[in-house]
């Protein structure tokens, strides 16, 4: 007896797929990777040779990765033009104020602090290349 795949309306649902990574095209993957390792505690899982120079970085909990690479077929470093609501990388933080101060001292730019009614504290910044990053101290953790 064959089983039909689960559906959401008329679209089949793919079960069991886990998020692996989000890829970001940057002009200098090695420099961006070094900054994320030094200041956000990420770990380089794999790296490749030029000209693409891909770097896969895992978060501190090894739950998610970002891939930083340089692909000449597409623009790089366009993230300054994006509103942080369009794209941002979010990291948990036990102390967003202290972490913001530390990241700004390392070249990040503060955009805003948000204190939500539920008690969550969210801080939006841009890394030195303009990519929006968020520090999240949730009143109720989501992961």
Kindly report the number of other CB atoms within 10 A of residue 80's CB atom: 11
Nearest to 111 by CA among 85, 75, 77: 85
| DSSP-based three-state secondary structure for 52 | coil
**pTM of the prediction?**
0.86
For the segment 107-134, the average pLDDT, to the nearest whole number, is 97
Considering the chain, what is the average pLDDT of its residues? 92
Residue 56 near residue 98 (C-beta atoms within 8 A): no
- pLDDT given for residue 120 in this prediction: 97
Query: Is the pLDDT assigned to residue 3 strictly greater than 80?
Result: no
Please determine, for residue 70, whether its predicted confidence score (pLDDT) is greater than 80.
yes
Chain mean position to CA 113: 18
Q: Which one has a higher pLDDT value, 134 or 17?
A: 134
């Amino acid at each position: 007896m064959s089983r039909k795949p689960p559906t959401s309306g008329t679209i089949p649902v793919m079960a069991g797929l886990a998020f692996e990574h989000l890829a970001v095209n940057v002009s200098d993957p090695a420099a961006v990777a070094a900054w994320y390792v030094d200041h956000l505690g990420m770990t380089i899982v794999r790296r490749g040779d030029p000209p693409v120079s891909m770097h896969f970085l895992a978060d501190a909990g090894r739950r998610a990765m970002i891939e930083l690479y340089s692909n000449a077929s597409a623009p790089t470093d366009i993230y300054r033009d994006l509103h942080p609501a369009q794209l941002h990388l979010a990291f948990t933080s036990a102390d967003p104020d202290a972490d913001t101060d530390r990241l700004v001292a390392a070249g990040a730019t503060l955009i805003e602090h948000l204190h939500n009614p539920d008690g969550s504290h969210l801080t939006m910044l841009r890394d030195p290349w303009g990519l929006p990053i968020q520090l999240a101290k949730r009143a109720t953790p989501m992961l």
